Structure 1
Amino acid sequence: MKNLVFPTLFLLIALVSPSIVAQEKHPEHDAVMVVVDRFFEALNTDNQVLMASISIDGAHNYSIREKSDSTFELRSRQQNNAELAPNAAEYTERYWDEIVLVNDLMAVFWAPYDFYIDGMFSHCGVDVFDLVKLNGQWKMANSMYTVIRTGCPTSPLGEYQR
């Protein structure tokens, strides 16, 4: 029994330590998330003026779409916005379990998401955004996402309600 005390104690300390030593948020974390949430607001409301205001000139949008030959499609944000503009559909994208990494001048946002068009499930995937801080303001520089139409995990946000 004595031989089990130290290994058991070590195991307990190892399991508890990560929660004790929680990392503090970077001071710019909340400012980055404001821009990320405004991105989703612009996307969900088809607000191109808002999208432009939170993006750098020449910002890119990359999508990796689920295809049998594993090809991907590269589009600029401007091309993507032009494609969405004439459409009167209602878009809703929800994210969860985000991971945000922040440096003083750069940030990365990563999160799984689900996407609905007119209240109907369209696809799921993962969003990855690169942000830069220019002249004291956070801006979107790059957005990349996967488009998966089958086998999507159940969202921890629950079923989408319009």
Structure 2
Amino acid sequence: MKFLFSILMLGFSVTITAQDFFTEADAKGLIDTFFEGFHKGDTLLMQSVLAENVVLQSASVNREGKNVLSVTPMSGFLKSIGSRPEDQVWKEKLLGYEVQIDGNLAHVWTPYEFWYNGTFSHCGANAFTIAKLEEGWKIIHLIDSRRRDDCQQE
């Protein structure tokens, strides 16, 4: 009887652990939800996967050829998404996902192409940092690169 009880308890603990396990598919799902909201102009959907104090940055080269790191308040970014004119189509095409997970921290790298009203604009990569918070897994940091050179349009 003790053996049967031990087997049942082991199965129960494995079930609990499996429910708490964050997978590559879960990470991709958060990113996909973010971009679904981005493309639809649905800032509430975007906010559903963002931490309250998320940091948004961009690494680029300015017109003078200098490397620049800019910080954008997420509130301003979301306002620009929500107030985008209906005749503007912004499409960020993700070219892949590289996911790394360690405990309650994950990182997702997504190369992309950005298209504006069907015309290629630029390319780069997004780097998302995701963490498990009290309210669940949320994007806590997003930095992207932007360039027009060496882009392989698909």
TM over 0.5: yes
- Identity of aligned pairs, percent? 22
Partner of 1:103: 102
Size of the alignment, in residue pairs?
Answer: 130
Cα RMSD over matched residues?
1.7
Normalising by structure 1, what TM-score?
0.73
Which of 85, 95, 98 pairs up with 2:82? 85
What are the Cα deviations for residues 87-108 of structure 1, in whole angstroms up to 9, with x where unaligned? Answer: 2221111112321001221100
Q: Which residue of 1 aligns with 2:31?
A: 36
- Counterparts of 1:17-56 in structure 2, within 5 Å, are 28-56=23-51
Q: 1:55-70, aligned counterparts within 5 Å? A: 55-67=50-62, 68-70=65-67
CA distance in 1, matches of 2:76, 2:26: 27
1:93–1:115: 8 Å Cα contact kept in structure 2?
A: yes
Q: Secondary structure at the match of 1:72?
A: strand
1:50-97 residue CA offsets vs partner (Å, 9 max, x unmatched): 111111101111011232121221112222122333222211111123
Matched position secondary structure for 2:126: strand
1:7-47 deviations in whole A, cap 9, x for unaligned?
xxxxxxxxxxxxxxxxxxx8522111111110111111121
Give the structure-2-normalised TM-score.
0.77
Match of 2:4 in 1: none
Tell me which amino acid in the other structure corresponds to 1:113.
Y
Counterparts of 2:131 and 2:115, CA distance in 1: 28
Closer, same or farther: CA 27–71 of 1 in aligned 2, 3 Å = closer
Could you tell me which runs of 5 or more consecutive residues in structure 1 were left unpaired when the two chains were aligned: 1-25
Residue matched to 1:17: none
1:121 positional shift: 0.9
Match of 2:14 in 1: none
* Cα distance in 2, alignment partners of residues 130 and 54 from structure 1: 12
Letter in 2 for 1:128: A
